[in-house]
Amino acid sequence: MKKWLFLIPLFLFADIKKEIISFYKKHYPNIEIQNIQIKPTPPKKYHFLKILLSPKRSFGNIKIDNKFYYVKIKALMPVCITTSVIKTNQEIKCKIKKIPFRNFYSKPIINITPNIVASKIISKNSIINISNTKKRADVFKNSLVSVIIQSKNIIISSKAKAMQDGYKGDVIKILLNKKIKKAKVIAKGMVEIK
């Protein structure tokens, strides 16, 4: 009987750490948590656990039975680091590197696909994240686009300058013959005015 009572508290304490790991894994599936410190030492038996941590930080609080505890994790995080300067709308070139988990202002991305491009200039050795990338647009701002103008039975094609990024189905502003018009993106580099 004493042996059984001894195992229950250890199991309950392990649950707190499992909940913290689960919390971070939900936000960063590839995080490798090495150590979790909880101060003061949490109770071995508890009824209520509330995670008050921010996924952007390696420290914070949890609440166990209406008492606050400070939590600090030590972990490694795989991130994609740029190998050179990347200009706006350029394809992302990077290498995966494990770094100590720290405060992230924007969630890092490690699964870089060809349809992800830089949303702004990214300096060399920067971490690729949600705020400095975007989905590759079908039409890029300031690029030359083909314009199809349909009017009754007449179809006219021309060139114009895109005034904003756009994806297929979006209505964007274009500069056509020194006038700003609205056009629908119908394909890569192509818009239509009806």
pLDDT digits (tens, 9 = 90+) for 21-55: 999 999 999 999 999 999 999 888 888 889 999 98
* Helix, strand, coil share of the chain (percent; to 5): 15, 45, 40
Using omega within 30 degrees of 0 as the cis cutoff, is the peptide bond preceding 40 cis?
yes
**CATH 2.30.30.760-classified regions of the chain:** 144-193
Task: Judge whether residue 14 has pLDDT over 70.
Answer: no
Structure tokens at 32: 């490798």
CA-wise closest residue to 96 among 84, 109, 107: 109
Q: What is the pLDDT of residue 46?
A: 84
Give the tens place of pLDDT for each residue, 164-190: 999 999 999 999 999 999 999 999 999
CATH architecture for the domain at 77-135 = Alpha-Beta Complex (3.90)
Instruction: Collapse the DSSP code of 140 into the 3-class scheme (helix H, G, I; strand E, B; otherwise coil) and give the result.
Output: coil
Domain with CATH 3.90.1210 in the chain: 77-135
CATH architecture of 144-193: Roll (2.30)
Q: Which percentage of the chain shows pLDDT scores above 70?
A: 93
| CA distances to 59, 81, 100, 109, 176 from 132, in Å | 25, 12, 21, 10, 30
